[in-house]
Structure 1
């Protein structure tokens, strides 16, 4: 169809034809006719069989931490027998005007490459595409669009801050007391603590096939070394407990803790109060899966009670960590009830004012819950490392 310039020329041509006819000016009449014919020829030229283009679009990398560098590489190959016209590529990118790339005409079999950067300041899925090629005639009077690549997305993972250590929050089973959970199977290398549903990232060699056949779903053995630390990390997502701005700080904190636990080679269970539950997994093996979970999590409009952290059969071992905006008496009661199954319970409250006290009078009734208030105007790692040096209060 005509471009903006094409419509302008066509309008001017029709005006010239009418004026030339009314005023008896042959030159104007002829000039208008030539201009109108030029627009018609331009439209017909782009309506011919379109060139055969092969377009490869690659995201490098396809997953990036918030604020990192990511770009799109385009490789355009003319697989037809004719030289292409002027090419203009437009790739919609969520939250932006999209990427525009102009390419010179391509000879048969020739290749052109292009690159553009992607915004990574917002955590989540960045939707891209579909990529469209715009074919324009040499005079720029007419164009035609065609989709040459579908939709894709960039996964923007939460940013990670390096934590110096995990202060009294990753507990281990006491081997002198034996296993603290019911076990199945003979003792020795084949012993496992329990079964849970399969999640992406699990080793398929740990699938317990007889139980999976009976349940109709994949079940994985939890072969948990006695000395391996384990943490249940609860991320608050209820909008009544945490603001959207503070939630981003909380997600960064959760991702940083996941990274720290994976470096330590321990186990972790990530629970989000929107109903998401990773199950108990080896943090090192499931690190990327857990970070992808955190990449897409968002606050929910819910004022329900704090979901009681799932129990894994342990008693008095491991750690329970809650990251929230504010702690209420009702939430404290739920944590206190679940805390008997853990070696330690830590609540991290986020406050806009650094160092603002999270201590309320009701906390005196829950001596087993440690509360640390982190300001959101400083990096999560700085507050965490300071708490680690000071120890549990």
Structure 2
């Protein structure tokens, strides 16, 4: 491609040649010929220069969230001698990153890095890149595409919270789960004794040990009862403001991320219903599928909760996330999920004081993610490392 400067050289050269012929001045003729020759040589240089470069990208972190800084590393492997050239990495919104390469022999690797801020959740395309070579005078340039684009997913923002697990956590929600477990019929075997606390089943008092200690103690049992936690995200558009829906998606993402943080084979599994789809998250790979769905979910109308099949012998815990307290939708979701005895409702566009829900349900507002994380710690916070025994 000829530059504007090459057009000036060409027109100026032709005019100079014509003036030299007109006035019989050999100097003008030579000068004009030199200008036109410069353009021809520039075209020859950029035509014969064919840099062969293989480009690779590394992304850190590998699962970026909204608001995080993404470090992109570029590796440029030369398959032939490469003259001084410019590499342009295309970014979203029509912008690009410019990298100036010095001359390199074949078989060399040049590395460059740049940073971008993840602005919104969803797919993000990096590249493709272009390599551009030119002549020393800037009269002509030629560009060539390098490799293909890299598609990454920007995940919703999350905060650190813990899934309710009576083996490792403490808090009001955990106390409620333990009260249900104490009266839950199950096949158990003796595990240990502990001090009596209010709400313990009197049938579990160990009278012989209590007499020796002069204080009430109860038997604890290893049990196979499972905690079946399910998160339901209301995606009805009329339930949210724009900011409220993003907070709701972030809350749901935070619960899914908790699977990775607790990271033990015996950690509780998590069911997630959102946007007309359901996910069972008990491993990082399963959690990743739910996270990808949350990254692209949008608020729609008339999203009816799905009927979910759950283990009848488990302790059901429902976490229902919505914007405004649409009582009918919340109750419908609760019934479709199996009418759990323990329910937490998260309101992302309303305060808890204005909600008409059953009094034994837990209601948490979420006007800021960080404050929600602090409020959640009152209900559930991990205090011990997951062991390989279920002890209640």
Superposed pair shares fold, TM > 0.5: yes
Give the match for residue 55 of structure 1.
55
Q: 2-side partners of 1:350 and 1:52: how far apart? A: 53
Alpha carbons of structure 1 residues 61 and 17: separation in structure 2 relative to 1, 3 Å? farther
Alpha carbons of structure 1 residues 90 and 230: separation in structure 2 relative to 1, 3 Å? same
The total of aligned residue pairs comes to: 332
Matches within 5 A, 1:265-344: 265-272=267-274, 274-278=275-279, 280-282=280-282, 286-294=286-294, 296-300=295-299, 302-314=300-312, 317-338=315-336, 341-344=339-342
Give the match for residue 385 of structure 1.
377
Give the match for residue 229 of structure 1.
227
How far does residue 344 in structure 1 lie from its aligned partner after superposition? Answer: 1.6
How far does residue 333 in structure 1 lie from its aligned partner after superposition? Answer: 3.6
Give the match for residue 65 of structure 1.
65
Partner of 1:70, secondary structure, is strand
Alpha carbons of structure 1 residues 350 and 56: separation in structure 2 relative to 1, 3 Å? closer
TM-score, with structure 1 as normaliser:
0.72
Give the match for residue 74 of structure 1.
74
How far does residue 100 in structure 1 lie from its aligned partner after superposition? Answer: 1.1
Partner of 1:326, secondary structure, is coil
Q: For 1:137-157, what per-residue CA distance to the aligned partner results, in whole angstroms no more than 9, with x for missing partners?
A: 222211111122201123323
How far does residue 28 in structure 1 lie from its aligned partner after superposition? Answer: 4.7
1:347, 1:370 within 8 Å by CA — same for their partners in 2?
yes
How far does residue 88 in structure 1 lie from its aligned partner after superposition? Answer: 0.7
367-376 or 244-253, which deviates more = 367-376
Partner of 1:118, secondary structure, is strand
Matches within 5 A, 1:129-140: 129-140=127-138
Give structure 2 stretches of 5+ with no counterpart.
Answer: 165-171, 188-222, 382-392
Alpha carbons of structure 1 residues 18 and 97: separation in structure 2 relative to 1, 3 Å? farther
Larger Rg: 2
How far does residue 332 in structure 1 lie from its aligned partner after superposition? Answer: 3.2
1:229, 1:266 within 8 Å by CA — same for their partners in 2?
yes
Give the match for residue 152 of structure 1.
150
How far does residue 134 in structure 1 lie from its aligned partner after superposition? Answer: 0.9
329-338 or 126-135, which deviates more = 329-338
Partner of 1:63, secondary structure, is coil
Matches within 5 A, 1:5-84: 5-14=5-14, 16-17=16-17, 27-28=27-28, 30-48=30-48, 50-80=50-80, 83-84=81-82
Partner of 1:67, secondary structure, is coil
1:168 alignment partner, one of 159, 169, 173 = 173
Matches within 5 A, 1:172-191: 177-178=185-186
Q: In proportion to residue count, which structure has more helix?
A: 2
TM-score, with structure 2 as normaliser:
0.72
Q: 1-side partners of 2:52 and 2:59: how far apart? A: 23
Give the match for residue 248 of structure 2.
250
1:271, 1:309 within 8 Å by CA — same for their partners in 2?
no
2:259, 2:283 within 8 Å by CA — same for their partners in 1?
yes
120-129 or 4-13, which deviates more = 4-13
How far does residue 26 in structure 1 lie from its aligned partner after superposition? Answer: 5.8
How far does residue 70 in structure 1 lie from its aligned partner after superposition? Answer: 2.9
Give the match for residue 93 of structure 2.
95
1:236, 1:242 within 8 Å by CA — same for their partners in 2?
no
Give the match for residue 184 of structure 1.
none
How far does residue 267 in structure 1 lie from its aligned partner after superposition? Answer: 1.0
Q: 2-side partners of 1:313 and 1:165: how far apart? A: 18
Partner of 1:47, secondary structure, is helix
How far does residue 171 in structure 1 lie from its aligned partner after superposition? Answer: 5.4
Give the match for residue 216 of structure 2.
none
| Structure of higher RCO (CA pairs closer than 8 Å, 6+ residues apart) | 2
Q: For 1:124-169, what per-residue CA distance to the aligned partner results, in whole angstroms no more than 9, with x for missing partners?
A: 2221111211111222211111122201123323333223674527
Q: 2-side partners of 1:312 and 1:235: how far apart? A: 18
Give structure 1 stretches of 5+ with no counterpart.
Answer: 180-224
Q: 2-side partners of 1:259 and 1:388: how far apart? A: 15
Partner of 1:258, secondary structure, is helix
How far does residue 92 in structure 1 lie from its aligned partner after superposition? Answer: 0.8
